[in-house]
Chains A and B, each alone.
Chain A
Amino acid sequence: MTYKNRLDGRKNNETRQIIAKAGVIKKADGSAYFKIGKTWAYAAVYGPRELHPRFMQNPNKGIIRYSYIMMPFSGMGERIRPGPNRRAKEISMVSQKALNSVVNLEDYPNTVVDVVVELAQADAGSRCAGICAASIALADAGIPMKDMVAAVAAGIVDNTVCLDLDYEEEHYPEFAKEKVDSEHVADIPVACIPSTGEITLLQMDGIIDSTQLIDAVKLAKEKCAEIAEIQRQAVRARYEGDKK
């Protein structure tokens, strides 16, 4: 346990500053942006609307179709070539599954709810920011939901569990100002339904003990309750704004 002073001075259970706003894309049925530090995700929701191709339709309920896109200039380093790649497709799939269990689309058979998420800037934690933005946008669109889905990445840096790593922490050995005991950095994105505490997205890459995994998930879960409150406030602010 040697990582005591985080590179940007945050506490271990502290995220970067979060700014969330609903109703930012006029043409969409629901929309939001979610900024956490420099990471900046937009989400637009269209639907429920008829699903094409028809063979994908589900006669029992509507489905969510999630698309995660990085703007070509959004990341550190070289330009990202536009168009789907393996990473974006996988993130879209796991994000969709993170949201599926809270939306109730039984009243909308054969339809699709399209969720388009674009990252204007990605400084780590982009899939979690995308899910947070998408969840606000779904609520803004009036899609029936049991709860918000909140998401945040936990991480293990030099054997210490921390929340919401940024780019430099994800590459800690390179940026470390102190002696490093463990070269390993783990990234553990977690999405959670705050009212039940159930986890709807869990991934990890790195090398850690199983106890560290559980500690990280617990810490992320606690924070998700706070993030969900910020998300709900974003939706509320939108409709308070409408009244004026």
Chain B
Amino acid sequence: MNNDSQENMIRLLSEGLRQDQRAFDKFRDIEIEYGVVEMAEGSAKVKCGNTEVIAGVKLKLDKPYGDTPDQGILMVNTELTPMSNPRFEFGPPSIESIETSRVVDRGLREGHAMDVKKLCVEKGEKVWMVNVDICPVNDDGNLLDIGAIAAIAALKNTKFPEVDKDGKVNYKKKTKVSLPLLEEPLPVTVIKIGDHFLIDPTENETNVLESRITFTFRKDGKLCSVQKGGDGSLTVDEITKMVELAKKTVESNRKALDKAK
């Protein structure tokens, strides 16, 4: 019998058990290692159970967008390659990769994580473009929350490269100047299987979820982005429960992020 089927999962959960023995509201232990890729302007490796993600930041001087001539550009991208999990395929980004990137991106943007005006070098001509790439090495679920933690950690780790007199970036030399970070928006995903709500789902749990919601919180506890996923529907009471669960979790995740050096 397929151990991962939804029915079996619900039976297990009804007994109060998860496959990896965790409590329903327990996030796997978060291990953060900063600066793992010296070639990048900033980087971090985050490990949670069997999910392991490297995020890296690359900076570049570029022309600003026409509608925001005095603002720098922040872009998040997720590379889901068949290395971390055979279900991923080569080729154009899958919808899963796009959703991960966009939800992380939206949390950072709407949570005003970056003072983008401070990334402007010359109005209308030259601004810093900040590229964050999330690359899973091991995938055992919840790439979104864990990828976002890695992205924030990599942004915190970033130092500007030097700029020559003629305006060219000298990537070989890093300054001591960090990015103008104002906030650290952190997402927490809650999934629903049967009548059960789980934090930090593994891949097996993700495969049989009915619905999920990702809530992104700022440091002050305010929400800055929400995304529902899954084919199932949710009552208002259920959403209330889920947001409370997420809020409780984000506080301990933030402690883990603050503790890591």
What residues make up the interface of A, taking CB atoms closer than 8 Å to B? Answer: 24-28, 38, 40, 42-44, 46, 67, 69, 71-79, 82, 84, 114, 116-118, 120-123
B60 in complex: contacting residue of A27, A78, A82, A120, CB < 8 Å = A78
Is B37 located at the chain interface by the 8 A CB criterion? yes
Least CB distance, B133 to chain A, in whole angstroms: 4
Q: Nearest chain B CB to A186's CB is how many angstroms away?
A: 22
Q: How far is the CB of A42 from chain B (nearest CB, A)?
A: 6
A124 to chain B, nearest CB (A): 11
Residue of A nearest to B92 (CB): A83
Given the complex of chains A and B, what is the CA–CA distance between A79 and B82 in angstroms? 21
The docked-state distance in angstroms from the alpha carbon of A116 to that of B84 is 9
Asked if residues B79 and A46 are in contact (CB atoms below 8 Å), the reply is no
* Interface assignment of B255: CB less than 8 Å from any CB of chain A: no
Chain A CB within 8 A of B19 CB:
no
CB of A116 within 8 A of CB of B81, answer yes
Q: Does B54 contact A (CB under 8 A)?
A: yes
Assuming the A-B contacts A73-B56, A77-B171, A116-B81, are A26 and B39 also in contact, with contact meaning beta carbons closer than 8 angstroms in the complex? no
Chain A neighbourhood of B84, CB < 8 A: 25, 27, 44
For the complex of A and B, 9 pairs with smallest distance between CB atoms: A73-B56, A79-B58, A73-B40, A116-B83, A72-B133, A44-B83, A121-B37, A71-B135, A77-B171
Instruction: Take A26-B138, A79-B131, A118-B135 as given contacts and tell me if A71 and B85 are in contact as well, using a CB distance cutoff of 8 Å.
Output: no
Q: Is the CB of B39 within 8 A of A74?
A: yes
8 residue pairs of the A-B complex, CB under 8 angstroms, read: A46-B86, A67-B81, A71-B54, A73-B57, A74-B56, A76-B39, A77-B171, A121-B39
Give B87-102 interface residues, CB cut-off 8 Å to A.
90
Question: In whole angstroms, how far apart are the Cα atoms of A77 and B173 in the complex?
Answer: 11
Q: Which A residues are in CB contact (< 8 Å) with B36? A: 120-121
- In the complex, are the beta carbons of A118 and B83 less than 8 A apart? yes
Q: Which of A44, A46, A71, A82 has the most CB of B within 10 A?
A: A71
Whether B81 and A118, one on each chain, are in contact in the complex, defined by CB atoms closer than 8 angstroms, is yes
What is the distance, in angstroms, from B198's C-beta to the closest C-beta of chain A? 20
B70 at the interface (CB under 8 A from A): no
| Whole-angstrom distance between the Cβ of A27 and the nearest chain B Cβ | 5
Interface residues of B in 204-221 (CB under 8 A from A): none
Q: CA–CA, A40 to B40, complex, Å?
A: 13
B58 touching A72, Cβ below 8 Å:
yes
**A24 CB contacts on chain B under 8 angstroms:** 137-138
Contact of A120 with B37 in the complex, beta carbons under 8 Å: yes
Closest residue to B78 on the A side, CB-wise? A82
CB distance from A150 to the nearest CB of B (A): 22
Does B38 sit at the interface, judged by CB under 8 A?
yes
Does B43 touch A at the CB level, under 8 Å? Answer: yes
* Residues in B24-48 with C-beta less than 8 Å from chain A: 36-40, 43
Nearest neighbor of A46 in chain B, beta-carbon distance: B86
Partner of B77, one of A72, A74, A120, A123: A72
How far is B194's CA from A34's CA once the two chains are assembled, in angstroms?
Answer: 43
The docked-state distance in angstroms from the alpha carbon of A73 to that of B39 is 7
> Which of chain B's residues has its CB closest to A79's CB?
B58
Interface centre among A38, A42, A74 (most CB of B within 10 A): A74
Minimum CB distance partner of A44 in chain B: B83
Report whether A74 and B83 are in contact in the complex, using a CB–CB cutoff of 8 Å.
no
B115 at the interface (CB under 8 A from A): no
